[in-house]
A = this chain, B = another copy of it.
């Protein structure tokens, strides 16, 4: 018997329990319903059911447009305010309780007993540490961070982070399960505050706050600068491949060798790391690996096709809004 048999085969999951009725809990519930699962939504207060259903109805418009799995139906949703009831038959639990470490610790001490022992419990936390969340849980091995991006029914990223007591098999199970349901899981190498995407987003956010504080730009100007500038590129290529492509035929190597000194300039309040030979090589090798057999022309065409498609798609949205 292999160790993997501790956990249900991801393909055999039928019943998903989502804990929490806010935008993230509702978003996950809608997503799992659209993928054909039976979903139980645990609500702290049964009065939240109306707003949960309104959020799911809104998500459903988009999910239908992107295509539902066979058998998918909002009718497969059950709501309960009984935590034991919500947990007892779950094949997978996605926890979306408020971002409060004491509240989560208390919740996981209950979930540790209520959820069948070999069912994985993923936390949607955007910033708390699983090591801390799982500290009072009797069965911490199957608890993992599975942090989505809002709205969870449309953005594919889920950041996966283990705590000190998390079983590596549970991490692998979660990767397999998220991939199976159409998500883009990203396993963190280290338990760093803010994970990867939020750290990058937070860097922009803090710089934006500095600009507003110093009257260098208004909120509207910052938003226009992003949506009309780097924003659409980031929907297609991340910042590294964008700069690799921006370097022309010479790619990232040209960029770093040419613009490395600009890291010393006061462009943003964020101090840059020293551009050592090792860091330079990591960046260049990573971009070359990521680009694969796509040369400068191929990457430029891919970027341009994406930007044209986004431009036409958003233009059509704006027309429809009129």
A-side residues, CB < 8 A to B, are 22-23, 58-59, 61-62, 65-66, 127, 149-151, 154-157, 159, 184, 186, 188-190, 192-194, 196-213, 215-241, 243, 246, 248, 262-263, 265-273, 275-276, 278-279, 282-283, 286-287, 289-290, 297, 300-314, 316-317, 320-321
Is the Cβ of B151 less than 8 Å from the Cβ of A304?
yes
Is the Cβ of B223 less than 8 Å from the Cβ of A227?
no
Known contacts being A310-B310, A314-B306, is A240 close to B269, with CB within 8 Å?
no
Complex Cα distance, B309 from A316, in Å, reads 9
Copies of this chain present: 2
In the complex, the chain B residue whose C-beta lies closest to that of A98 is B258
Complex Cα distance, B216 from A193, in Å, reads 11
Known: A203-B268, A236-B314. 10 other contacts (CB 8 A): A23-B246, A154-B308, A155-B228, A206-B273, A220-B290, A223-B241, A223-B290, A231-B234, A231-B236, A313-B313
Chain B residues whose C-beta falls within 8 Å of the C-beta of A309 in the assembled complex: 313-314, 316-317
Nearest CB of chain B from residue A233's CB, rounded to whole Å: 7
Is the Cβ of A193 less than 8 Å from the Cβ of B266?
yes
In the complex, the chain B residue whose C-beta lies closest to that of A249 is B51
Known contacts being A66-B311, A230-B200, is A225 close to B287, with CB within 8 Å?
no
Is the Cβ of A246 less than 8 Å from the Cβ of B150?
yes
Most chain-B CB neighbours within 10 Å: which of A203, A211, A308?
A: A203
Chain B residues whose C-beta falls within 8 Å of the C-beta of A155 in the assembled complex: 228-229, 232-233, 307
